[in-house]
Amino acid sequence: MGYFHSVHLEQEKCKGCTNCIKHCPTEAIRVRKGKAQIIEERCIDCGECIRICPNHAKIALGDELEKIREFPHRMALPAPSFYSQFTAPGGIAQILGALIRVGFDAVFEVALAAEVVSWATRRFLENYQGPRPLISAACPTVVSLIQVRFPALVGQVAPIEPPVNVAARLARAEAVQVTGLPPEKIGVFFLSPCPAKITALRRANAAGENLVDGIIPILFIFRDCREALKGARKIIPRAGPGGVWWGRSGGESAALGRGKLLEVDGVQNVIKVLEAVEREELQDFDYLEAQACPGGCVGGALMVKNPFGARQNLMFLTRDLAGKSLTEEELAGLAQKGAWRSTRELKPRPILQLSEDISSALVKMQQLESTARLLPGLDCGACGSPNCRALAEDIVRGQALDTDCIFLLRERVRVLAEEVVALARKLPPSMAGPERSNRD
C-alpha cells in the first residue's frame, strides 16, 4: 500500500549531504546516488528534514493561493498558530480581515473548532476507563509516530477528531446555509503550519470524505496576508482564548483545564515520553498533549517566524479575547454538527519487520546483529544510511553492501594493497638475486 506524503525533495537542490538522514526520527531517509531519498512507508511528515536541510531541498507540497479562484465561495480556515505570524494593532480581528482582502469570502476559525474539541475531550475523559494517559490525536505526526514506532499504544489515542476536521465540516455547512450554494461550490481552504496536517487531510480526502478543497502552507500566503493587513476590515473572532492557545504547546492542556495533564513538544522529547508511557510509568496522568514541533504548532515547518517569538506573540494576541467563551449549549451543538468523534480505527503500521514470518525474520536479525558488529560504530552516515545499525539493516534487506561503509572498504583496500606488495616482491628464480631468501 502506498502512502501519500507532503514532504518532497527538490532533486536539483539536494547536494547529497547527510544532515537529513541523521535527524529523521524514523530513519526514513537514505542518500543514494548523491541524492536523498525518502522511504515513503516510514515517513511521518514531521518536517524535521525540511528544518535541517542546509540547501532547502526538502519542501512540502501544498496548494497556492490561486487555487481558491476555482470556487464561487471561498472559506479560509486559519490554524490557531496562523495568528502568531503577524503583529497587528487590531489583533486577531484585523488578521482575520486580511484573509478577506487576499481573496476569501469568509473565515472559519479553526480555533473555534479547537474549543469544541476541548469540550468533547473533557466529556470523553469523564467516562474514560481505558489505560492512561489518554493520548491527544491532534498532532498527526504524533499519531503516525505511534502507528510506526509505538504500535502497542494505538488503542490509547483519543478517538477524537483533530480541530481542523471539525472546522472543515462546520465551515462547509455554514457556508451552504449562508450562500444557498451546493456544498461542492464552496471552496474550503486550510492554512497549514506543517506538512503533517497536509498529509492527514489529503488522506482523509482519499478515504472518501471531502473535508477540504485545498491546503495552503502558511509560508505560501504569509507575504500576501502581511500586506493585506494594512487597511483590513476587522472581523470579530468567534473563538475565545482557549481555542487560540491550541496554536502553541501547552495550549491544548490549558484549554482542557481539568485533570492531571502532561504536555510534551519536540519530536525527540515525544519519543522519550511515549517510551515511558509504553513502560506504564506515566499512568498517573489523565491526558497527554504531545506535539512534534518545538513550541507546538507555532514551530511548524511551514511557518515563517521564529517559533519562540511567535509563541509570545500568540499569547499577546489572545489577551484581547479575555473572558470570551462559548456556552455549553453552543459547544454541544457545534460538537454534534462537527462530528467530533472519530470513526476511523487507528491501526499499527508495522513497517519495520525484516520478513513476513518470524522464523525467517529471526535468521535475518542474526545476520543483522553480526553485520552490525563488523561496522565501526561511528554512525558517520557516509554510506548514506543514518547510522551503522541502519546500514546493517539495509545490508540484510538487500538494499546496501558492506563495502558501502568507507571504513570496511578502506580495510579491504589495505589488505588488498598488502597482498599486491607481497606479490610484487616475488621474483621468478631466474631473476632472483642473492637477497631473495631473506625477503621471503
Partner 1 sequence: MALELTFAVQNRDFKAAGDGVSELKRVLQEVGFSPGFIRRVAIAAFEAEMNIVIHAYRGRLQVRIEPHQIVLLAEDEGPGIPDVALAMQEGYSTAPPEIREMGFGAGMGLPNIQRCADKLEIRSEVGRGTFLRAKFIYPDPKN
**Residues forming the site for partner 1 (CB under 8 A):** 149, 151-152, 154, 275, 278-280, 348, 350, 352-359, 361-363, 365-366, 368-369, 393
Q: In what order do the strands lie in the sheet with 261-265?
A: 134-135, 287-291, 261-265
Of the pair 334, 375, the CB lying nearest partner 1 is at 375
Tell me phi and psi for residue 204, to 5 degrees. -60, -40
Distance CA 139, CA 310 (A): 19
147, 152, 157, 162 alpha-carbon torsion, rounded to 10°? 0
Distance CA 68, CA 411 (A): 59
384 closest CA partner among 13, 20, 56, 9: 20
Q: How many C-beta atoms lie closer than 10 Å to residue 230's C-beta? A: 10
Tell me phi and psi for residue 345, to 5 degrees. -80, 130
Of the pair 272, 414, the CB lying nearest partner 1 is at 272
Q: How wide is the angle at C-alpha 144 spanned by C-alphas 379 and 3, nearest 5°?
A: 90
H helix intervals, 346-405: 358-374, 388-396
Of the pair 155, 159, the CB lying nearest partner 1 is at 155
Q: Which residues contact 323 (CB under 8 A, 6 or more apart)?
A: 240
Of the pair 363, 417, the CB lying nearest partner 1 is at 363
CB of 267 to partner 1, least distance (A): 16
CB of 307 to partner 1, least distance (A): 28
CB of 153 to partner 1, least distance (A): 8
308, 218, 221, 59 alpha-carbon torsion, rounded to 10°? 110
Q: Got the DSSP string for 245-266?
A: HTTSTTHHHHHH-SS-EEEEES
**Is 337:170 a contact under the CB 8 Å cutoff?**
yes
Of the pair 93, 154, the CB lying nearest partner 1 is at 154
CB of 352 to partner 1, least distance (A): 5
CB of 361 to partner 1, least distance (A): 5
CB of 168 to partner 1, least distance (A): 31
Of the pair 369, 440, the CB lying nearest partner 1 is at 369
Start-to-end C-alpha separation, the chain: 62
Q: Got the DSSP string for 24-60?
A: -TT--EEEETTEEEE-TTT-----HHHHH-TT--EEE
* Number of Cα atoms under 13 Å in the Cβ half of residue 106: 20
CB of 371 to partner 1, least distance (A): 13
CB of 275 to partner 1, least distance (A): 7
CB of 369 to partner 1, least distance (A): 7
Q: Which residues contact 348 (CB under 8 A, 6 or more apart)?
A: 147, 151, 154
CB of 392 to partner 1, least distance (A): 11
Of the pair 119, 150, the CB lying nearest partner 1 is at 150
Of the pair 343, 359, the CB lying nearest partner 1 is at 359
Of the pair 159, 348, the CB lying nearest partner 1 is at 348
* Grid coordinates of 230: 494594512
Q: How many C-beta atoms lie closer than 10 Å to residue 374's C-beta? A: 15
Of the pair 363, 413, the CB lying nearest partner 1 is at 363
